Structures are given as C-alpha cells and as structure tokens.
Amino acid sequence: MIAIVGGGISGLAAAFELQRQRVDFRLFEKSRRLGGLILTEDVDGLIIEAGPDALLVQKPAAIELCRELGLNDHLVPTSPPRTAYIVRNRKLHPIPDRSFLGIPLTMTALARCGFLSAVGKARLAAERFVTPRTSAEDESIADFMQRRFGREAVDYLAEPLLAGIHAGDVKRLSMQALFPRLPEAEKQYGSVLRALGKTERPRSAEGAFLSLDRGLGDLVTALERALPGSAVEREAGVTRIAFDATSRDYLIHTARREPVRARGVILTTPAYVTGTLLQDLDPHLAEHCRAIPYVSTASVSLAYRREAIADPIEGVGFLVPSAERLHILAASWVSSKWPGRAPPHLALLRVFVGSARDTEILRRSDEELVRVAHEELSQLMRIREWPSVTRVYRWERASAQHDVGHLEHVRTIERKLERFQGLTVTGSGFRGVGIPDCISDARRTAELTAARICTSR
C-alpha cells in the first residue's frame, strides 16, 4: 500500500493515478474537506472561488484530467473581450492583445501601452539590441527584466504580472524556475522580442484559460467520486513518519490511532509541513524542505448591483503595480471573466491583498479588508454603493515561493530522498506552482513511487 499525505489537488491527482494503475493506496487529509486551496462556494446564486479559478490551456495536464473525469462538457473559456488592465496614475490601461506575459510583441502593441511612459517604451523596444548574457546562472525576475527591458518594465509589467501571479517579490522569485521560456529565448535568439516575434502565435479564439462552469470545486468533487471512499481518510492529519527497518515499512502516525504501515509514501503537503513530517527520518532533508518560503494572501469577493458601477466592466480585471501605492494587488471582474457566475443584475468582483508586498494588511479584520477592497475599487471603477454580498478567504502560508536557486535546492532534496526507497515529495512547494503543474508532477511522482516499490519487492 502507498500512503498519500494531503488531499489538495496534488494528493488527489496522485491518488487518481495510483487507482488508474490499480495500485493500493490510502490518502490522509488533515481537514474535513478535500481540495486544499481549491474551494468553490455557492452564495445566494453567486459562484465564488475562494482560491484558484483558472486552468492555463498551454499546460494541458489539468484539462486532460477534467476530460478523464467526464467533465469535458463543463469546461468553459473566459468570456470575450479578454482584456486585462494595468493601473497607472489611478487609471486602467489595457494590456495590448498582441503581447506575451504583458510584453508587447509588435510596435503597434507597444505604442498602445498606456501604462508605460515614452521613455519606458523606447527602452523596452531597445531589447532587441541588448547583448545577451552568457552566464547560465539563475537570476531574479527583476534582474532579468531590468537587464533586458529596463526599469519601467520591472515596475509596470514584471512586478504586478510575473511576480503578481505568484504573490511574490520580483527581486527574489526565480526566472529559471517560473518563466524558463524567457531566458531560453534570450539564449537561443539573443533577444526575447526577436524570439517571441518568431515563435509566438496569435492567441487562440478560446483564450489562454479555461474553468469549469460551476467552479473548480467540481474538479475536486469529480476526483472524490472517482476514488474509493474507503481509501480516503479526512480529519486524519499525519503527525510524523517513521521507518521500520525490519519490515522495511513506513509508519504513518496520525493523532487518531495506531500507526498505519505503508510500502511507499507520497507527501503532497506544503513543503514546511513535509519538512516536519520528515524530521525523524532525516533532519537535514527536513531542514531543506522547511527552507522553501511561503507567503500569505487573502481574496475578497464583492457583489454589486450592476447599476452601482459607473465604469464599463469589459474584460477580465486589472493588476496594480506596487509603485501605485494601493493595498489591492489585483482584481478579477469575475462576472465578466466567466459565464454564469452571477445573476444578470449583479457584478461579482474579486480582489487580492497581502502577499510578499504587503504582509501588514493581513493582520486586519475581515471587515477592514472588505472596507479597503471596496474603497480602492470605488476609486478605480467609480462604484457608488456598498456591495450587497461580501466574502473574505484567508490563505495563510499558501503560496510557495520559488526563489532564485529553487531548482538547485529541489535537486538537493531529490538527491537526499534517493536513499529512502518509495518515499517521494510533490505539491506546489517543489516542482510546479499552478494547478496544471501540480497535477502533472503528482501523477508522475505517483507512477515513479509505484514503480520503485515494485522493484524493491
């Protein structure tokens, strides 16, 4: 039997893969609910995503899993127009269509970047002539973007967009771990703009993201249904893992009862929990896992009467650079981004706060977070009324930070794990951050663990 620790999307995907391969498993989840960061709530006819809402099409593992689970007919694209905006001087400026990660790909697109000054645009266009770096060493998103595109591109593109997706610090996050395509483009073509001009195709008619019509919670429900109920234990937090050298079994300790014996273990918990669970087996390995940093965020959902919002809501939402000195990091215009998320008379918006940028705000009460979200949204979108529905979801130490050197750090962890037959780690702290990467890494890890315990018999 293989024990899977953690019932977020990584644990569930690992379980699904083992079940598909007819390998016996048991999944241990600390909380009463499966899904981890994925949580959808139905509030008075509003479909509210507390955590993730979008599956990146370019990385197909999540969409393939939805299809395997029979959810094909429930996949929905974002609604057009899919424009995202960047705030500058309290105004929303559209990111041009012909762009990649916000980087404009044509001169016309660049000319339309209202969030960059004339000097910033000229410096960005000059990227084609910047000498490529020869060192293959990892560098931060800020260092890479400043070197290639200039300071303004760091402040108004990289910081809100590239680092913003990861709730992280642009000066610390790793370019190699998170956006390997860009340094690779520099290496191969001598210029990112030249490379993207050659390789980037116009966006597909369906856009870059899909979701499920009733929210991503349905992916968790479908996985839950596909797994044997007897193999999934909730409210079964694992407290430690030991090894019995005589039987060569791992002993999975929970607070509940006698330890459970397993031939293999897949740890899918946040890296700092994984570290604690591995403490007895190898304190150095444990320390390496605990060293992976995490940051906290909160999402605040607000529903308004449509007439209460003076500005048109056409697009998917906006990003706020830290240079703009607001608390909100980004806002999703949920009811214009996805079909069917709110009744026609309501506009559902979602705001993010916290992250590496603003840790202080998370000490405030839920009421305070709603007030800040509402006031800043009102300034930017001319909202004239208090929202009729509000929800605050706090995600404490939930976003793993793949900082400079992360890939090398994970290789060290993998080397240390090699001496433990059938013991593996996966989850957003290690090799993948978003849902598609978590799913593909969890499935691959499950396959590897099953193969390793077979060869050890």
Ligand X SMILES: Cc1cc2nc3c(=O)[nH]c(=O)nc-3n(C[C@H](O)[C@H](O)[C@H](O)COP(=O)(O)OP(=O)(O)OC[C@H]3O[C@@H](n4cnc5c(N)ncnc54)[C@H](O)[C@@H]3O)c2cc1C
Residues that bind ligand X (CB under 6 A): 5-11, 28-31, 36-38, 51-54, 237-238, 268-270, 273, 297, 299, 395, 398-399, 427-428, 433-435, 438
Q: For residues 424 and 267, what is the distance between their CA atoms, to the nearest angstrom?
A: 6
Q: For residues 409 and 404, what is the distance between their CA atoms, to the nearest angstrom?
A: 9
**Least distance between ligand X and beta carbon 13 (Å):** 8
> Closest CB to ligand X among 140 and 401?
401
Which pair of structure tokens corresponds to residue 391?
């929800």
Q: Which amino acid is at 378?
A: S
DSSP 417-441: HTTSTTEEE-STTTT--SHHHHHHH
Could you tell me how many residues make up the chain?
Answer: 457
With CA atoms as reference, report the closest residue to 125 among 85, 159, 153: 153
> Closest CB to ligand X among 53 and 186?
53
**Least distance between ligand X and beta carbon 25 (Å):** 14
**Least distance between ligand X and beta carbon 129 (Å):** 35
Which pair of structure tokens corresponds to residue 255?
């607070």
**Least distance between ligand X and beta carbon 40 (Å):** 12
> Closest CB to ligand X among 11 and 293?
11
Terminal-to-terminal C-alpha distance of the chain: 12
Q: Which residues contact 63 (CB under 8 A, 6 or more apart)?
A: 55, 57, 75, 210, 436
**Least distance between ligand X and beta carbon 43 (Å):** 17
DSSP 33: S
Do 355 and 168 contact (CB within 8 A), yes or no?
yes
**Least distance between ligand X and beta carbon 173 (Å):** 14
Residue with tokens 């607001």: 326
> Closest CB to ligand X among 162 and 192?
162
Q: In 3-state terms, what secondary structure has residue 318? A: strand
Do 186 and 192 contact (CB within 8 A), yes or no?
yes
DSSP 192: H
> Closest CB to ligand X among 153 and 167?
167
> Closest CB to ligand X among 31 and 117?
31
> Closest CB to ligand X among 38 and 145?
38
Q: Which residues contact 265 (CB under 8 A, 6 or more apart)?
A: 2, 3, 4, 5, 241, 250, 252, 422, 423, 424, 449
> Closest CB to ligand X among 103 and 238?
238
**Least distance between ligand X and beta carbon 397 (Å):** 9
**Least distance between ligand X and beta carbon 186 (Å):** 26
Residue with tokens 């050298």: 245
